[in-house]
Amino acid sequence: MSSGRVSTGLAKLDAALGGGLLPGKLTVLLGATGIGKTQLGVTILHAGLQQEGQRGILFDMTSRGDSQNQAEYAKRMFGWEMTQANAETNPTIEEVWEVEQARRDALHLFQRSGKRVTIQDLETEQWKEWKAELNRKITRAIGFFYANFVHGVRRVMIDGIEPTDRASDSFQMHVFEYLYHQIFQKDHDWVARDLFRAQFREQQDKVMAHGYDHKEIASFIACTSKEVMLEELMQRPIEAGDILSNANTIIVMGKIRDGLSMKRGLFVAKHRGSACSEDVLLYRITEQGIEFEA
């Protein structure tokens, strides 16, 4: 990335971020349902087409069966026909190296789970069943990400994270922690070892020929908050172990009362390692996505 920054695709937001996001870092988009997190995330992913030559990819963590409408937004906002990866089968070794077969825009891995998002909601046996399901599907997730990264993708968005009282109670966060530390922040050859396993040695030459630097991968996670008002989000405390404490950048999105009406506002609450604006950016959601007020 020649600029040293990751463009969001929105000039005003890039300016508020001191030139854009930092590659290799985690950004949290935090706000109530319907506030525009997914539209912003899709915009950031699409911006990869101009900056890196490949759009980013989306991993939908929704487990209740309801759609986040990412494909609909992508098509309406950018004419982007988002391709879905098969949630049931891993790409074959041959397909990993073939760009037309490997490149898929989105994966909704737990779409038929229909489970709640906290460990406390599950009985002991249900929790064991969930962990067994996760173990079966984690190789599918590795295959999805690796097959995209070796073909130039450098942006990842995790969507559909629902609110819980404590992050440690959320099995969605358990999954995210694995993805972030064991895939996004791991050297490419070790990710390949996890994927190919016994076949790694015979694939080693191709693995090295398709190497990528994980420090260039920008990851985003869209988290739904219980708080609706922007002021509440700006004052939200950060607890030890909370994903907010580990994120490099936090962008909060919420409602602002303006007389008898409500507006939407965005604020860069944290942007470690960079200057950033202290201003609240007012915005609206249009058919073309997020539009900032002058």
Using one digit for the tens of pLDDT, what is the confidence trace for 51-108? 999 999 999 988 665 557 899 999 999 999 999 999 888 889 999 999 999 999 999 9
Instruction: Check whether 3 has a pLDDT greater than 70.
Output: no
Q: What is the pLDDT of residue 162?
A: 85
Instruction: Check whether 119 has a pLDDT greater than 70.
Output: no
At 239, the pLDDT band (50, 70, 90 cuts) reads low
Residue 31: phi, psi to the nearest 5?
175, 170
Query: Which percentage of the chain shows pLDDT scores above 70?
Result: 91
* pLDDT (mean) for 147-174: 87
Q: What is the pLDDT of residue 246?
A: 84
Instruction: Check whether 27 has a pLDDT greater than 90.
Output: yes
pTM to 2 decimal places: 0.92
Instruction: Check whether 241 has a pLDDT greater than 80.
Output: no
How far from the centroid of its chain's Cα atoms is residue 253's Cα?
16
Architecture per CATH, 11-292: 3-Layer(aba) Sandwich (3.40)
pLDDT digit string, tens, across residues 104-118: 999 998 764 555 556
Q: What is the pLDDT of residue 1?
A: 40
User: What are the sequence ranges of the domains in the chain?
Assistant: 11-292
Mean pLDDT of the chain: 90
